[in-house]
Amino acid sequence: MTCLVDNFQRRINYLRISVTDHCDLRCIYCTAHQVPRLSHDDILRYEEIERIVRAGAQMGITSLRLTGGEPLMRPHLEVLVGMLKNIDGIDDISMTTNATVLARHAENLAAAGLDRVNISLDSLNAEKFHYMTGRGKLSTVLEGIEAARKAGLNPVKINTVLLKGINDSEILDFAAKTVTDGWHVRFIEYMPFACDGSQGSTFAHNQTVSDAEIKDIIAGNMGELTPVMPSKGYGPAKYYQLENATGTIGFIGAVTDCFCSKCNRMRLTADGRLRPCLLDDEEIDIKTPMRRGMSDEELRKLMSQAADIKHEKHRLGEHVLPAARQMWQIGG
């Protein structure tokens, strides 16, 4: 087997797949403005995603994450999960979702082979949640979290992006959930995009809250944070636990604590482009040649080429921001 290894000796074994660019929420920092949605024909069909994953699995891809847009906006997602689960070599399928409709899909997804979910939730206050998501209802997300737990999607992780003056007052509320409800909360540093919600002056790039600041606030108010190593799907986050907590607190400091040297992932956009780095605009179109009859060998070659153009690290520190797509068009 030829493995996917980039020019910096990083082995790529994780593919994040955006299954649609449609999202039912309009999070203030994620969506700058609505560009026209992809047409039905532009979006990869399930059979095409399956073929790409099969080729990837032959090159060492073992883990998949379904994302969007909002992945649950794609009808019958459990069918795709089942197709991917049957591919030799794929041993972990997860999903990142806003959970607005997860309550009605969790059981079917788990039965089809989905292993775990990350749920995006930026506020525990119903009004603020509605403001931050443009339209969301907090209670439906909380129902989604419960349904995921009941369906055995394990672990359920909560992803929270903090913005100063907007939801940073909730740091302790989220941390408390790791004690009272066993939540696994991960604070993800806001990553600036050239075209993101800051364009509409709802917030500015400097409203980001660093991991160090969050850690200080939690430790100062709730006691020591002990480093822990979770068992499954821990990726780039650093995890800690408060005394008496069954849940964990993770930190993903993409900006202030760059983890590019450990990057093991590549992304597939809903319109069939391989994107080696979230924060770099370079992509390789595989949908067009695939629809023109490309062989599996040629497909694997394009996947290798995508690994070859992966940069050593992102350049946010030098103010080089991704500009060709907004976050909702990539999937995080």
Among 58, 63, 97, 241, binds ligand SAM (CB under 6 A): 97
Residue 217 and residue 171 in contact, taking contact as beta carbons nearer than 8 Å: yes
> Hey, how many other C-beta atoms are within 10 angstroms of the C-beta on 244?
9
Query: Which residue lies nearer to ligand SAM by CB, 55 or 279?
Result: 279
Q: How far is the CB of 146 from ligand SAM (least distance, A)?
A: 17
Q: Which is nearer to ligand SAM, 86 or 199 (CB)?
A: 199
Nearer to ligand SAM, 52 or 158 (CB): 158
CB 46 within 8 A of CB 83: yes
**235 counts as binding ligand SAM under rule CB under 6 A:** no
Query: For ligand SAM, which residue of 21, 115, 143, 196 counts as binding (CB under 6 A)?
Result: 196
The reply on whether position 70 binds ligand SAM by CB under 6 A is: yes
- Tell me the CA distances in angstroms from 304 to 79, 270, 278, one per residue in order: 28, 20, 17
Which whole-number Å values give the CA distances from 147 to 70, 111, 119, 126, 141, in the listed order?
A: 18, 13, 12, 19, 10
How buried is 61 (Cβ within 10 angstroms: 0-12 exposed, 13-18 middle, 19+ buried)?
Answer: buried
What would the x/- binding string for ligand SAM be over residues 135 to 164, using CB under 6 A? Answer: ------------------------x-x---
Give the total residue count for the chain: 332
User: What's the closest the beta carbon of residue 330 comes to ligand SAM, in angstroms?
Assistant: 7
Q: Residue number with the shortest CB distance to ligand SAM?
A: 332
Told to check if 191 binds ligand SAM by CB under 6 A, we report yes
Select from 38, 117, 95 the least CA-distant residue to 329: 38
120 binding ligand SAM? (CB under 6 A): yes
Q: Which of residues 2-31 bind ligand SAM (CB under 6 A)?
A: 23, 29-30
Q: What is the DSSP secondary structure assignment for residue 30, as one 8-state letter?
A: T
Name beta bridge partners: 218.
Answer: none
Site stretch for ligand SAM (CB under 6 A), options 189-197, 231-239, 243-251, 316-324: 189-197
Measured distance CA(106)–CA(233) in Å, rounded: 19
Phi, psi of 151 (to 5 degrees): -75, -5
Interacting span for ligand SAM (CB under 6 A) from 6-14, 213-221, 232-240, 324-332:
324-332
Report residue 82 as tokens: 């089942």
Residues at the contact surface with ligand SAM, assessed by CB under 6 A: 23, 29-30, 67-68, 70, 96-98, 120, 159, 161, 188, 190-191, 193, 196, 327-328, 331-332
